[in-house]
Amino acid sequence: MTGSRTTPSEPAASPKRGSGSGIALLVIASCQLMVVLDITIVNIALPHIQTSLGFSTETLSWAINAYTLTFGGLLLLGGRLGDILGRRRVFMFGVLLFVFASLLGGLSQESWQLLAARSLQGVGGAIASPTALSLITTTFREGPERNRAFGVFAAVSAGGSAIGLLAGGLLVEWLDWRWVLFVNIPIGLLIAFATPRYIRESERHPGHFDILGALTSTAGMVLLVYGFIRASEDGWSDSVTIGAFAGAVVLLGLFLTVERRSRQPITPLWMFRDRNRAGVYGMMLCLAAAMFGMFFFLTLFVQNILNFSPLRAGLAFLPVSAIIAVGAGLASQLLPKWGPKPFMVVGATLAAAGLGWLTLTDVDSTYTGSLLGPMLVFGFGMGMQFVSLTLMAVSGVESQDAGAASGILNATQQVGGSLGLSVLVTVFGTASRNEATDQVPRFMAEATRAEQLEFRRTGELPGRWGDEVLASGISSSFIAAAVFAVVAALIALVVIQVRSADLERLQGGGVPLAPAVDTPGAGDASSPGDGSAPRKSPPAPG
């Protein structure tokens, strides 16, 4: 995995930096929105997909998991592809692959066809998403211009889940479930058409792919995510669950060994030696777990307990998207003055407060009286968070490593969301079973004979008794989600440090931000791998 000394090639002829920058940002943000909302846009269509393609209840979850696993598992490789092959061309390839997979998914006639298409969508998203973030660093100047771009990017990243729920409700109710996939086709084609006209190509950094690192990291993360998903369905003592976790430990351990020895690693480990960047990755894991859980369980609550239609359920989340955009905009404006740490601490605290408020939900809760307030508090905090986390994750990273840095950030969000949701589902299941134990005697004492006979046949509590069980499980899951947000706030408070160079960089002046550690020389994981002199990071002032 080494390479001979080479000189980076010149960028292809393309628009000058700043030319059509508004359209360039629209193109990049549109791609990220398309990729992110596809995680949730399918959720509301699941009952229709089950009826149409003959999924069982157990296998239906894979309509989501097939996308999640490939997306989260391949993000690191996607970021590295852009560094070596050129970010614009890799970005376009990822978008077109996503479009092709969406077409296949919409045309699916069998369950396996949809799952294969969803997996291919995840591959396209994993290629396009980290490349989109790193394109911002090559398209916009450092300082206020790049801060605003990151603010827009962070807003669509954080709000994409809520927008997906709204779009899914509209498409399912007015058209057909297949349009939650077909809708990506015109959007993706427009993105691919505009990209070469408004986005400049980045430098290509010749070298070799860290194939073994890519394979071990991808397979290890897939097994880790699958282990948690399997545990939520079949229990922690299930032999397949245990095998998945064991395989993940082995593969991820091998991945770390490979990365330490590779001259061109897929994940430069020196990034984790900077406490700010390591803290950002830890916070993203926790906050993504909380966010995925909030959307998933509130979707269950509004449709199963409040009896909202798909369209009304989607509209219920529209205020969250709006308040996320407000929080992101406010943070991007004030970051140059205050630095990122206050927004990290306050944002995570607000997210925890909103989730804590949601623990009070029960069968008598209403949307406006019980859900809207905590949703707005949570969304405002998350909007502030994503701007700060995005900026800190790529600060001090040299051009050839920007794809890897953004890939790690995206991977922690996706993997954190998947792992966290599995943990919350496990909490939900335990609390629901405990509540059902309490509700069954009440049901048997109050139900009619017909209701009792139906219960013995299906094993499911009907009416208010069933709602009590569901509400109890959802409320308990929000407790666990709030814990994740509290951990993120503690990381921000204790780990994150704001240096004087940070503020100078955000204000558009001073030297580039760099990790406060020396980057080791040739032969180490962070070496350029081209035979050139090793890079050194200047010590951060203050």
d(CA 520, CA 530): 14
Query: Mean pLDDT in the chain?
Result: 75
Tens-place pLDDT, residues 182-205:
988 998 999 888 888 877 666 665
The CA-based dihedral angle spanning residues 259, 260, 261, 266, taken in that order and rounded to the nearest 10 degrees: 20
Tens-place pLDDT, residues 464-490:
667 777 888 888 889 999 999 999 999
**9 phi and psi, to 5 degrees?**
-70, 160
**Cβ pair 31, 127 in contact under 8 A:** no
**Cβ pair 227, 220 in contact under 8 A:** no
d(CA 180, CA 106): 8
| Sequence-distant (≥ 6) Cβ neighbours of residue 334 within 8 angstroms | 343
The arithmetic mean of pLDDT across residues 16-35, rounded, is: 71
Provide the pLDDT for residue 122: 87
Q: Which residue has the higher pLDDT, 281 or 514?
A: 281
Provide the greatest CA pair distance for the chain: 82
**Cβ pair 516, 499 in contact under 8 A:** yes
The CA-based dihedral angle spanning residues 433, 436, 438, 444, taken in that order and rounded to the nearest 10 degrees: -150
Q: How many CB atoms lie within 10 A of CB 156?
A: 24
Pull the structure tokens for residue 90: 């890799």
Residue whose C-alpha is closest to residue 352's, from 182, 492, 194, 225: 492
Work out the pLDDT band at 17, boundaries 50, 70, 90. very low
Work out the pLDDT band at 6, boundaries 50, 70, 90. very low
Work out the pLDDT band at 447, boundaries 50, 70, 90. low
d(CA 28, CA 30): 5
Pull the structure tokens for residue 376: 């707005």
**Cβ pair 122, 70 in contact under 8 A:** yes
Tens-place pLDDT, residues 201-210:
666 656 666 7
Single-letter residue type at 62: W
Residue whose C-alpha is closest to residue 291's, from 98, 152, 442, 420: 420
Handedness of CA 87, 213, 69, 396 (dihedral sign): negative
> DSSP for 469-496?
HHHHHHHHHHHHHHHHHHHHHHHHHHT-
Provide the pLDDT for residue 80: 73
Pull the structure tokens for residue 364: 């008598």
| Sequence-distant (≥ 6) Cβ neighbours of residue 219 within 8 angstroms | 73, 247, 251
Provide the pLDDT for residue 189: 92
Residue whose C-alpha is closest to residue 354's, from 391, 327, 314: 327
For the cut 70, the answer to whether the pLDDT of residue 432 exceeds it is yes
Tens-place pLDDT, residues 361-412:
888 888 988 899 999 999 899 888 877 887 777 666 666 566 566 667 777 7
- Give Cα separations from 331 to 336, 344, 383, 499 (angstroms): 9, 10, 8, 18
